[in-house]
Structure 1
């Protein structure tokens, strides 16, 4: 039971009702920036783990 075309259409209508068409571009931009920041944070954590492992190879 996944998302069908009707589910996606219903979600779009709900978003339009709550936020209105004028706020949709700013909402999309904010969501994009949040996702970008989240991915950047994950990459930073992986780099930090690799750095710690190189400093303590036995542990």
Structure 2
């Protein structure tokens, strides 16, 4: 009861007739570029997060040291 190969070929033929092969090629390349851009932005975000984690840890350590110094002066 699913879609047969012949039905898919007929739909593909109609789409090619409506849009033309050049337009479909442009749409495909635009879609590919968008996917590449999305993947690049996701990997850039992961790298940014990986860089921030050590900085956050370092900042937390510095804050802990800053809090310890006044305690040492009091004691």
The alignment's C-alpha RMSD in Å is 3.2
Paired position in structure 1 for 2:21: 21
Spell out the pairing of 1:1-59 with structure 2 (5 A cutoff): 12=12, 15-16=15-16, 19-57=19-57
1:16 to partner: Cα distance: 3.8
Q: Which has the higher helix share?
A: 2
Greater than 2 Å deviation, 4+ residue runs: 4-22
Q: What are structure 1's unaligned runs of at least 5 residues?
A: none
Q: TM-score, normalised by structure 2?
A: 0.53
> Highest relative contact order (Cα 8 Å, sep 6+), 1 or 2?
1
Measured in 2, the distance between the counterparts of 1:20 and 1:43 equals 35
In terms of Rg, which structure is larger?
Answer: 2
The 1:52/1:21 distance shift into structure 2, 3 A limit, reads same
* TM-fit CA distance, 1:56: 1.1
Return the TM-score normalized by structure 1.
Answer: 0.64
